[in-house]
């Protein structure tokens, strides 16, 4: 008889490593995403004028939805779910649109539009197999590259002390000291560590930064004391409202977010698994994201998307074990069911989060470059990438440049360079004539040959004219 050897590899999707190896990396994913999960509901609660109880509810269901969504995509149901080492949850990509919709129609208008947007996202996911050729590496890579570049300011804001530049103490040297110490701890662990130490570099950096920040008075435990131990989410705590302007804005951003999902999933498969994204995985990812976005609206959780910072962790560590990421999903579920557990995670100071995640955001950028070079760097492709970057980052830096545009256009592209980059790269890839490097080389050779022939004819004509003058 032969006994089946258990797969304990961290670097295999179906591997089940020992808990002591899996847990630190799982916690890295949780800590990398927790601030991104709770920040959108906090922002939207302020926009729509929620009561303190409603604000806590929005945070709780956001955390719960993120845990459920991650597990759903890791294991999948029928054709739904990416079945890739990716983290999904309530994210930043929708925030500009949610602010615009919420300011005009309230949380009820957001949830009604979100339900329709999720359904449209599923439609996109179903037909993506027929239009996937419209999203080659040059398009997906451009989106991933802009995702990485657009996250840098978040990391710098966090290192300076807050996500808001007007916050008290923003830019204080003490904040920078904690952020830099955290960053150095991550670098030392990732570059000089071995085994689990190297793979757990992010959480080691966070622990070091947390210990440094604690005696400096940067850690606030008030939210932990106020949070309840257990809370079960309600079904439809808010009545949905359906407004055409809100629905159009949400549908557009959901479609655009599908392109970001393509980019993130492509980055995960390329950087973590050293292969191209499969059509089945892409279809399942978009179908699943649409379904969880629609279902989330029924519990007042905001729209879901892939988490780019966690893509960066996968790219940096190469750990793709589903078991490892599933533990992270379970942690989020527990945090969603126990607000007190979630409150503990929110005590991590901003400078610590910034110092720990800035290297992750850098890895996302490099993953985008990896995707780009899978296509030829022809003049055509360089034009697509260069123009998409110029418009996306340029408009993001000068938002006043589009102030006179219609409100719907401002809501869609204002403050969201990913949207501009995705639209620009997508359209240019369709419109510009396809010329490979070989085509460009042949064109140059033909021009050189034509110039040589023209020069030869000119010489012959000159000699003939000289000969005629001599005879005369």
Q: What is the pLDDT of residue 390?
A: 93
- Residue given tokens 């490593």 in the structure block: 17
pLDDT tens per residue across span 410-462: 766 765 677 788 889 989 999 998 888 888 888 888 888 887 888 776 666 66
Q: What is the pLDDT of residue 461?
A: 61
Cα–Cα distance for residue pair 454/460, rounded to 1 Å: 10
Q: What is the pLDDT of residue 2?
A: 46
Asked whether the beta carbons of 355 and 210 are under 8 A apart, the reply is no
Spans of the chain below 50 pLDDT? 1-3
Cα–Cα distance for residue pair 205/359, rounded to 1 Å: 11
Q: What is the pLDDT of residue 250?
A: 84
Report, in angstroms and rounded to the nearest whole number, the Rg of the chain calculated over CA atoms.
Answer: 26
Would you give the distance in Å from CA 387 to the centre of its chain? 21
Q: What is the pLDDT of residue 183?
A: 93
Helical pair 201-213 and 350-372, crossing angle rounded to 10 deg: 160
Cα–Cα distance for residue pair 136/94, rounded to 1 Å: 24
Q: What is the pLDDT of residue 465?
A: 63
> How distant, in Å, are the alpha carbons of 107, 178, 202, 210 from that of 190?
42, 18, 8, 18
Burial of 178 (0-12, 13-18, 19+ CB in 10 A): buried
- CB within 8 Å of 133: residues ≥ 6 apart: none
Q: H or E segment at 132?
A: none
Cα–Cα distance for residue pair 193/186, rounded to 1 Å: 10
- CB within 8 Å of 61: residues ≥ 6 apart: 41, 233, 296, 299, 300, 301, 336
Q: What is the pLDDT of residue 466?
A: 61
Q: What is the pLDDT of residue 406?
A: 82
Asked whether the beta carbons of 99 and 412 are under 8 A apart, the reply is no
DSSP conformational letter for 80: B
Buried/exposed code over 342-355 (b: 16+ C-beta within 10 A; e: otherwise) = bbbbbbbbbbbbbb
Q: What is the pLDDT of residue 414?
A: 61
Q: Is the pTM of this model over 0.75?
A: no
**Domain ranges across the chain:** 19-380
Sign of the dihedral defined by the CA atoms of residues 172, 173, 176, 178, in that order:
negative
Cross-strand pairs, 77: 80
- For the chain, the residue count is 472
Q: Rounding to the nearest 10 degrees, give the CA dihedral for residues 362, 364, 370, 373.
A: -90
Question: Taking the CA of residue 17 as centre, how many other CA atoms within 13 Å lie in the half-sphere pointing to its CB?
Answer: 22
Cα–Cα distance for residue pair 111/126, rounded to 1 Å: 23
Asked whether the beta carbons of 267 and 371 are under 8 A apart, the reply is yes
Look at residues 261, 268, 302, 269 and name the one whose alpha carbon lies nearest to residue 285.
261
Cα–Cα distance for residue pair 51/273, rounded to 1 Å: 45
């Amino acid at each position: 008889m032969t006994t089946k050897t258990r797969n304990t590899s961290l670097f295999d999707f179906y591997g089940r490593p020992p808990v002591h190896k899996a847990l630190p990396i799982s916690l890295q994913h949780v800590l990398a995403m927790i601030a991104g999960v709770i920040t959108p509901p906090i922002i939207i609660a302020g926009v729509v004028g929620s009561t303190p109880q409603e604000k806590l509810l929005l945070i709780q269901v956001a955390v719960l939805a993120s845990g459920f969504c991650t597990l759903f995509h890791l294991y999948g149901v029928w054709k739904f779910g990416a079945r890739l080492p990716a983290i999904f949850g309530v994210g930043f990509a929708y925030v500009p649109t949610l602010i615009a919709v919420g300011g005009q129609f309230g949380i009820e208008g957001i949830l009604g539009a979100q339900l329709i947007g999720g359904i449209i996202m599923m439609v996109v996911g179903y037909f993506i197999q027929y239009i996937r050729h419209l999203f080659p590496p040059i398009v997906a890579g451009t989106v991933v590259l802009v995702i990485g570049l657009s996250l840098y300011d978040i990391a710098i804001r966090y290192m300076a002390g807050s996500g808001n530049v007007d916050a008290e103490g923003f830019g204080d040297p003490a904040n920078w000291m904690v952020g830099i110490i955290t960053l150095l701890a991550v670098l030392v662990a990732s570059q000089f560590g071995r085994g689990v130490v190297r793979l757990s570099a992010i959480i080691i950096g966070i622990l070091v930064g947390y210990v440094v920040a604690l005696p400096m008075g940067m850690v606030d435990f008030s939210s932990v004391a106020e949070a309840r131990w257990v809370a079960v989410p309600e079904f439809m705590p808010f009545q949905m409202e359906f407004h055409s302007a809100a629905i159009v804005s949400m549908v557009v951003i959901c479609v655009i977010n599908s392109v970001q999902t393509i980019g993130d999933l492509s980055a995960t498969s390329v950087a973590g698994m050293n292969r191209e994204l499969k059509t089945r995985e892409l279809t399942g990812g978009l179908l699943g994201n649409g379904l969880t976005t629609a279902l989330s609206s029924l519990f007042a959780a905001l729209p879901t998307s892939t988490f780019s910072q966690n893509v960066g962790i996968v790219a940096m560590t190469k750990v793709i074990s589903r078991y490892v990421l599933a533990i992270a999903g379970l942690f989020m579920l527990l945090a969603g069911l126990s607000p007190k557990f979630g409150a503990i995670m929110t005590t991590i100071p901003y400078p610590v989060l910034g110092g720990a995640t800035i290297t992750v955001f850098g890895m996302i950028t490099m993953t985008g470059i990896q995707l780009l070079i899978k296509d030829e760097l022809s003049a055509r492709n360089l034009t697509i990438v260069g123009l998409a970057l110029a418009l996306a980052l340029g408009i993001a830096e000068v938002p006043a440049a589009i102030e006179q545009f219609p409100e719907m256009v401002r809501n869609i592209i204002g403050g969201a360079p990913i949207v501009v980059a995705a639209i620009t790269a997508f359209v240019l890839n369709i419109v510009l004539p396809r010329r490979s490097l070989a085509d460009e080389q042949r064109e140059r050779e033909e021009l050189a040959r034509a110039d040589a022939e023209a020069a030869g004819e000119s010489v012959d004509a000159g000699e003939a004219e000289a000969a005629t003058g001599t005879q005369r």
